[in-house]
A = this chain, B = another copy of it.
Amino acid sequence: MKDNNDMPGHLARRFQQIAVAVFLAEVGDAGFDLTPVQYAALATIKANPGLDQVTLAGLIAYDRTTITGVIDRLVQKGLAERRPSSRDRRARELAITDEGRRKLRKIAPAVESAQRIMLRGLSAKEGEELMRLLRKAIAAGNELSRAPLRDAQV
C-alpha cells in the first residue's frame, strides 16, 4: 500500500493547509483580518484598476462563482468597490479604495513573513527549487482545473 507521503495530492493538500494557517497567523498577529484569498484579490485589483470580475478571477485562478463572495467581503470591509461597467452592462468594474490601499501597505510585512515561514524547513536554494518545480507542474496542469490562470486581455 502506497504511503500518503508518496502521494503528491496528499502533500499538496498538506502544504496548502500549512500555508493558509501561517498566513492567517502572521496577518492576525499583526492585527489584521484578511484571508490569503482576499489578499490576493485585493492586490490584483490594485495592480489592475477597473478590471472586471472574470478578468480578476483569471489572473489569480479563482472560480468565477467563488470570486463573487470574495468581492462581497472586500466591499463589505470597505477595501474595494464594485460598480457597473460603462462599456459592458453585464460587467462590474472593480477598484481598490484608499482604505484598501492603506491596509495592503500595512499588511505587507506580515505577508512576506508568512511566505518565509512556510518555507522555513528549506534552505534558500531548496525554497527556490520547490517554487520552480511547483510553477512547472502548475503550468502543465493549468487547464485541468475549472479555474485556470488567464492573462489579462489588453
Contact = CB atoms under 8 A, between A and B. Distances in A.
B135 A11 contact: yes
B9 A138 contact: no
Nearest to A63: B17
Count of this chain's copies in the oligomeric assembly: 2
Contacts of A15: 12, 15-16, 134, 137-138
Contacts of A129: 129, 133
Given A129-B129, A130-B130, A137-B118, A19 B12 contact: yes
A1 interface: yes
B134 A4 contact: no
Contact of A131 (B8, B118, B149): B8
A89 interface: no
A152 interface: no
Interface of A: 1-2, 4-23, 25, 36, 40, 43-44, 47, 60-61, 112, 114-115, 117-122, 126-127, 129-131, 133-142, 144-147, 149
